[in-house]
Structure 1
């Protein structure tokens, strides 16, 4: 296997441990099949296949012929492109910094603010993050997309140790990335909001920030009080509008298929929805929650206000069906009964559209009643009687 010095240099370029070993083995030993390469590089065979694919995407390895042979791309050519990539990433991070400067609310102009900036890449990112968390004396804040969550999980030991040492640890996760937001290991520290992905930022004691560009896979350490202040100001806004991660996870467990769609909105909608989903409820109990949900819906689709009720009910049926898994929604104009079938054991259709639909009916003076409700083998059926007056033409 290659020496530690060579592997360290490759890691500095952003390669993982296994990628570094595979690339170094190809440079040293020439073309090889993946199975043989795994042995030469000391990499588990299943991981070797993943590493070769990743190196191929990075332009460092080519796979040709029959049987398939892996070949290292000439270092000068391949690494020259990587250097250009690093320069592009640095420019991209600086553009992010410029955007962050414009986010400074009430902090005055950030132009000309002195500060120190340094790029961090590869495994050095998580190492540096752990150091910064361990060195924090008062607070650690994070605004995290998928990659930011991964780094937080890799640093969870340091996060817990900091919290036990009376350091305030608070994290905001991106609600539109439900896979990341499902991480219950961060539940005691995190809230969820619709912040949008592509970047993450950690701040430490109001004096230092670690900016992470997920697309580029690099980080930038920033020591600039005003930039950190701007980031913390943005963080506080997200934190105030966010939902506790524990509550978000309850929604997902209850079967809500579009939980992120309401994140960052009226928190009372969530509180009422969870209470209704996880306990015995009646249509009447949902009135205040339904009104709030419909109020928000009207702001999104104001044209629905002008639709005749029976025409609008058909549209609502389509919205309900689109927000539910394994669903079927039918409305019988003769009996005035809407039948909703859905793949969940929740006592009501677990979608915000249902709450908004109830609010719509209330706004039209229509009080629906439940004529049938049942659950069997993971499928539920709810039938509502809608006393809609047919409009004569």
Structure 2
């Protein structure tokens, strides 16, 4: 297998392009000068020195002397396992540190919105859908209710996983839902899923969800990467949306 092929595989595991090429070149060559490694890795000599130092910090490269010359030696592939284990440990430590400081960060965010002005955040791209749903489920209080207008055919096209995971996540917090929806199929009301539904004749043009203090809107573009999502944090705006929703609900017969 060529150096570039193996290097590409290592890139998928987290090494940078040149780091992967220099390590694999050193692995192929055995103890070698920086010039020889640079040539096989297709990088210049100065860059090779920098990368070899970085790989040494990772524990993937060591140095030795041969005939009064410095040569570089790639550590066995098992060293990669040790590197990834250390990186995983560092990630876990960062996650724990984030949990520790998260309350302070959230308090700061609440302080910035204490003036009463709505807080508006924009998301773009396919990750917008996932990020928005995660925030909604995280911030919705247990035993509360989500209100929504949704086009299930479009949701299935864009993020089919959400259809499967969202109900279970809601039930864990005992969150009910009242839903106006459009779909080629049927989504019946189901007390076991804490779900009330009413089907609309015309397709819903965009997703709208809201609960205490937060409203979310997201588009249904042809290309998922063009998805746009908006989160509005404002009790007054949500109260108005809920009034509109309740009026529509009371005057809409169940399908």
> Where on the TM-score scale, by shorter chain, does this alignment land: which range?
0.3 to 0.5
Q: What is the TM-score when the length of structure 1 is the normalising length?
A: 0.29
> RCO (CA 8 Å, sep 6+): is it higher in 1 or 2?
2
User: TM-score scaled to structure 2, two decimals?
Assistant: 0.42
